[in-house]
């Protein structure tokens, strides 16, 4: 690689790290307050580094802090006795983002959003800022849009808006797995 490409690569790497730091700042702000979190928020808001190594170090510290302090909830629609595999997959996915054991919630049938006690419990945790990560097997475990009430809290759009407003990350544990017709039939 020619030496003249090094400055360009460094600027690009710093831009990527800066973008990552902005994302991490949002996640830091979603955590319960603590002196260590406050220090990292201050550093992320006003980084004082003149080199890439300092920025990389701050990003690494912030990522580790978020992973140590974040709490996840896992939620799925599962028929009786069929949820252990789904929960194991979601807990594995959650472990990539937080070290604490996630809080488990489920519903037995894919009812309308407001009729799901498990979903209601998860959204109460979100409102209380008790969780920073929500893991679902796939997005179709959440109530769909298309009911004419897309601005309602009880639709996918409404849930995503609430999560975004609270700084909660929504993670689909397996984008390929869907709530199959067989599983829906068993849940009814």
Alpha-carbon dihedral angle through residues 45, 130, 67, 32, given to the nearest 10 degrees: 40
Q: Delineate the domains of the chain, giving CATH numbers in brackets.
A: 5-68 (no CATH), 70-187 (3.40.50.1390)
Write out pLDDT tens, residues 23-42.
899 999 999 989 999 999 99
Write out pLDDT tens, residues 46-67.
877 667 788 889 999 999 999 9
Tokens of 98: 């937080």
- pLDDT-derived band at 124 (thresholds 50, 70, 90) equals very high
Helix 156-166, helix 117-127: angle, nearest 10? 30
| 45 against 123, higher pLDDT | 123
**For the residues of 98-137, what is the DSSP string, one character each?**
-SSPPEEEEESS---GGG-HHHHHHHHHHHTT--SEEEES
H or E segment at 17?
Answer: helix 5-30
At residue 178, does pLDDT exceed 90?
A: no
At residue 176, does pLDDT exceed 80?
A: no
Q: How far is CA 23 from CA 72, 113, 148, 176, in A?
A: 18, 29, 32, 26
Strands 133-136 and 103-107: what pairing?
unpaired
Write out pLDDT tens, residues 146-160.
766 555 888 999 999
Q: Residue 92's pLDDT is what?
A: 92
Write out pLDDT tens, residues 7-16.
444 556 667 7
């Amino acid at each position: 690689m020619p030496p003249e490409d090094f400055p360009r690569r460094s600027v690009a790497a710093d831009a990527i790290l800066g973008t990552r730091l902005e994302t991490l700042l949002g996640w830091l702000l979603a955590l319960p307050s603590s002196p260590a979190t406050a220090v990292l928020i201050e550093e992320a808001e006003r980084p004082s580094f003149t080199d890439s190594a300092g920025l990389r170090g701050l990003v690494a510290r912030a990522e580790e802090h978020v992973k140590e302090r974040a709490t996840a909830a896992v939620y799925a629609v599962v028929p009786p006795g069929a949820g252990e595999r789904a929960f194991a997959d979601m807990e594995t996915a959650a472990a990539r983002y937080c070290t604490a054991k996630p809080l488990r919630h489920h519903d037995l049938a894919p009812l309308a959003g407001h009729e799901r006690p498990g979903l209601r419990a998860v959204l109460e945790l979100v409102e209380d800022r008790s969780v920073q990560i929500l893991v679902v097997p796939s997005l179709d475990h959440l109530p769909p849009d298309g009911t004419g009430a897309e601005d309602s809290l009880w639709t996918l759009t409404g849930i995503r808006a609430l999560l975004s407003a609270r700084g909660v990350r929504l993670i689909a544990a397996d984008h390929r797995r869907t709530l199959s017709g067989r599983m829906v039939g068993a849940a009814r």
